[in-house]
Structure 1
Amino acid sequence: MKLQSISEKGLLYFLLICLVILLSGCWDRNEVNDLALITAAGFDKFADDKIELTVLVFIPKGGGSNTQTMESSNGGASETLVRSAAGKTVADAMAKLQEKLPRKIFWGHTDVFIFHEELAKQGIAKHIDFIMRHPTLRERGQIFVSSQKAKKVLKLMPPLERDLSEVLKELSQHKLGLNITTKKLAQMLVGDSGDCALPWITILPPESKKNPNRTIAYSTGTAIFKRDKMIGIIDDSVTRGVLWLRNEILLGVITIKPPKTDGYISVNVLQAQAKLIPKIQNGKWTITLKSVSASDIVQNETNLDVSNPVVAKSLEPLLAREIEKRIKKARNQVQEEMKADIFGYAEAFHRKYPNIWNKEKYRWDEIFPDVELKFDTECHIRRQGLTS
């Protein structure tokens, strides 16, 4: 029994030694000081059909006493730098960019991608392929289209945030416009319609001419794409209608003017849900937007007593008409004029009528502009504010 116990212990020790040998340890570790942490990337058209890749590199504190920095808004040093390189493809440009950086490029912290308008009009699918295919790039990175060169946008020095990537990331979280990630964009490009939309940004004019870069880029509307090519722009007011159709409305203020009164009443939309209900009857394609919203009154310029439930109830149809007005404006510009299905009509018809869709999907570009939009809008005013 004693010999058997010793034998079992010996076998146990042998197995433990074998397991230790198989441990990988830290042989492939990457120290932070050896990495160029990319927080944002921009894509511009370059000469000779090349693409220019510009990156915003974040330098961690303690990354070295001789790190190259940019002047910040407070007169100190912002621990970021901008570098660019051109190539035949994004991957080729990245390889050339690596030659200009002493540290290894690391894409794991990239939160923002910016395409210049000129490049977006030529098509972005082949460039998105790099973003989706690279193993370390995030699928939740935000994508934008800029009216100015992406390189110029990335050189801005925001007054409040660390760098521009933080600014655009925070603005996207406000949900005041479209919030499109790389994953969502890829899904739209391979969707039933193949059309997509991206937030449209432009540089906010600086307050001081002495520091032209001390400002931010902000969203002013939406860039509309037919397949992967940009075909036009809609402003932020029309974008609000698009958000209702896409069931992406989270926050918003709606102002109405009650009849036979002076002044306006503004409400804050706190909750909203929308659903597309497709219908095909006698060869006619129609779609109904069923929406339900809840709002609070945030300002009352009129002499109406909004604390009276009857008065508050009378305002709800006015809200419904104002919401439908915004949606109709989006429908007229995007559906009738641009003929781009960024609302998700194709997916709605495909889900409900798969057999008909498989027969007619090749004619969708002809069918979509004539799809009739109907409304089933329900608005509720929950609270009237503190003042009564």
Structure 2
Amino acid sequence: MKLQTVVIVVACSLLLGGCWDRIEVNDIAIVTAAGIDKAENKEIELSVQIFIPRSFSVGSMQGGGVKTVTLVRRARGVDIADAMSKLQMNLPRRIFWGHCKVYIYGEELAKAGVSELVDYLARHPQPRNRAFMYVSKGKAADVLNLKTDLERYSGEAVRELSGLKIGMEITLVDLINMFMGKSKAAVLPVIAVLPPSDPKKPESTDPYLFGSAVLKDGKMVGLLTQRVTRGVMWLRNEAASTTVTVKAKNVKGFVSLNPFRERTKLVPSIQDGKWKMLVVVETEGDLIQNGTHLNLVNPKWMKQIQMALQDDIETRLKLTLQQVQHGLKADIFGFATQFHRKYPKEFARVKDRWEEVFPKVEVSLKVSASIRRPGLATVPGGLTESEVKP
């Protein structure tokens, strides 16, 4: 018995050690970003931005400028797997997806549908579940070809935009969960390209967040502006770090506020056969600029500004509901999930026609806003005390 145990331990130990299946860094092509566009004959075009390791070696500074640190290669196929296999035949190194943090779908491709393309990323063992997903305004390959000034390559610039928390932040696992969700609707941030400062160098510019794209059954059905996108983020309890500028009634000038704590709660209810959703929004912010003639330390004026902030948030939410709920009829807010949790039997009866029920859901808003820190200065900058309303 002891002899058998020793034999088994020795046999197992032979499988634990060694580097027989190792892959050297010098043998792989590290993908930093990928773009997928629609091509002719029902094919797709896969573009990958590949890191050039030797660009950081000694002598990378040539001709008075920094040597390009990435290159873009592309191939076409009937799907991503087919395009990737053809792309691999044109590269001397094995493609490695483990460091790819950015995936961009071209606008035309997004309109045709991206569900099947997400399947490859979900099944392949290398792509990161936390990689960021986007739709481009135009071709995705154009974004990868940009020569950005602040970042080393365009893929890094796009990723940094998500890190700023100023727009939608959707990862691969988020997109998969939305496609598998009760509403079958999804939303992705949209990347656009700034006009170049030098027309002779069209690629020397930067990407920026344009807004968001709404998808139903995997197909893009509409684009939302940045203002409406912020309303979507309020309803999804994903409010961005941004500045809100408001104007109170009968007050000259504007006040800018920086919300630092936001909370949105969805409260579903079914009363007399009517489906209702109460959206409770609570926000707290700091005063960062006072462009009025008011002393906002006075509770009377402060309350007036807080009411203006509440009205601004309500206006944003109503605009968002009008465009998304009644216009696109796409439940990207998670209403279906909330009703399913509270009323599983009732939701089971309408889940197959939720697209018809969702636009009819009566939504009521309850917004409360408070300004916690009005700042140390009681007198607005540039004014004397006599010009300020106490």
TM (norm. structure 1) is 0.92
1:96 counterpart (83, 86, 102): 86
Instruction: Please tell me whether residue 57 in structure 1 is matched to residue 47 in structure 2.
Output: no
Equivalent residue letter for 1:43:
I
- TM-superposed CA distance for 1:155, in Å, is 0.5
Secondary structure at the residue paired with 2:111? Answer: helix
**CA 1:12–1:336 in structure 2 vs 1: closer, same or farther (change >3 Å)?**
closer
**CA 1:29–1:152 in structure 2 vs 1: closer, same or farther (change >3 Å)?**
same
Return the alpha-carbon distance in structure 2 between the equivalents of residues 365 and 172 of structure 1. Answer: 30
The superposition leaves residues 258-317 of structure 1 with CA deviations (integer Å, 9 ceiling, x where unpaired) of: 222211111011110101101110011110111111100111111110122342233212
Could you tell me which residue of structure 2 aligns to residue 23 of structure 1?
Answer: 16
Instruction: Please tell me whether residue 42 in structure 1 is matched to residue 32 in structure 2.
Output: no
Instruction: Please tell me whether residue 300 in structure 1 is matched to residue 290 in structure 2.
Output: yes
On the 8 A contact 2:55/2:68 being kept in 1, the answer is no
On the 8 A contact 1:71/1:78 being kept in 2, the answer is no
Could you tell me which residue of structure 2 aligns to residue 3 of structure 1?
Answer: none
Return the alpha-carbon distance in structure 1 between the equivalents of residues 11 and 79 of structure 2. Answer: 47
On the 8 A contact 1:35/1:106 being kept in 2, the answer is yes
Range moving further from structure 2, 300-309 or 338-347: 300-309
Instruction: Please tell me whether residue 127 in structure 1 is matched to residue 117 in structure 2.
Output: yes
User: Counterparts in 2 of 1:159-238, with a 5 A limit?
Assistant: 159-238=149-228
On the 8 A contact 1:250/1:271 being kept in 2, the answer is no
The superposition leaves residues 219-250 of structure 1 with CA deviations (integer Å, 9 ceiling, x where unpaired) of: 11111111211111110011111111000003
- TM-superposed CA distance for 1:65, in Å, is 9.5
Instruction: Please tell me whether residue 377 in structure 1 is matched to residue 367 in structure 2.
Output: yes
1:252 counterpart (235, 242, 253): 242
Instruction: Please tell me whether residue 355 in structure 1 is matched to residue 345 in structure 2.
Output: yes
Equivalent residue letter for 1:38:
V
Name the count of aligned residue pairs: 377
Return the alpha-carbon distance in structure 1 between the equivalents of residues 291 and 26 of structure 2. Answer: 58
Could you tell me which residue of structure 2 aligns to residue 240 of structure 1?
Answer: 230
**CA 1:310–1:18 in structure 2 vs 1: closer, same or farther (change >3 Å)?**
same
User: Counterparts in 2 of 1:320-339, with a 5 A limit?
Assistant: 320-339=310-329
On the 8 A contact 2:195/2:205 being kept in 1, the answer is yes
Equivalent residue letter for 2:240:
L
**CA 1:62–1:259 in structure 2 vs 1: closer, same or farther (change >3 Å)?**
closer
- TM-superposed CA distance for 1:11, in Å, is 12
Return the alpha-carbon distance in structure 2 between the equivalents of residues 54 and 61 of structure 1. Answer: 21
- TM-superposed CA distance for 1:150, in Å, is 1.2
2:99 counterpart (109, 132, 137): 109
Equivalent residue letter for 1:254:
V
Secondary structure at the residue paired with 2:121? Answer: helix
Return the alpha-carbon distance in structure 2 between the equivalents of residues 220 and 374 of structure 1. Answer: 29
Equivalent residue letter for 1:328:
K
The answer for unaligned runs of 5 or more in structure 1 is: 1-7
Secondary structure at the residue paired with 1:347? Answer: helix
Equivalent residue letter for 1:155:
N
- Give the fraction of aligned pairs with identical amino acids, expressed as a percent: 44
Secondary structure at the residue paired with 1:252? Answer: coil
**CA 1:25–1:331 in structure 2 vs 1: closer, same or farther (change >3 Å)?**
same
Instruction: Please tell me whether residue 77 in structure 1 is matched to residue 67 in structure 2.
Output: yes
**CA 1:364–1:17 in structure 2 vs 1: closer, same or farther (change >3 Å)?**
closer
On the 8 A contact 2:249/2:308 being kept in 1, the answer is no
On the 8 A contact 2:56/2:69 being kept in 1, the answer is no
**CA 1:63–1:93 in structure 2 vs 1: closer, same or farther (change >3 Å)?**
farther
Secondary structure at the residue paired with 1:387? Answer: coil
**CA 1:207–1:71 in structure 2 vs 1: closer, same or farther (change >3 Å)?**
farther
TM (norm. structure 2) is 0.91
Secondary structure at the residue paired with 2:197? Answer: coil
Equivalent residue letter for 1:147:
K
Equivalent residue letter for 2:32:
T
Superposition CA RMSD, Å:
2.4
Post-superposition, which runs of at least 4 consecutive aligned residues in structure 1 deviate over 4 A?
10-20, 62-66, 69-72
Equivalent residue letter for 1:78:
T
Secondary structure at the residue paired with 2:173? Answer: helix
The superposition leaves residues 92-118 of structure 1 with CA deviations (integer Å, 9 ceiling, x where unpaired) of: 000000011100000000101111111
Return the alpha-carbon distance in structure 2 between the equivalents of residues 224 and 159 of structure 1. Answer: 31
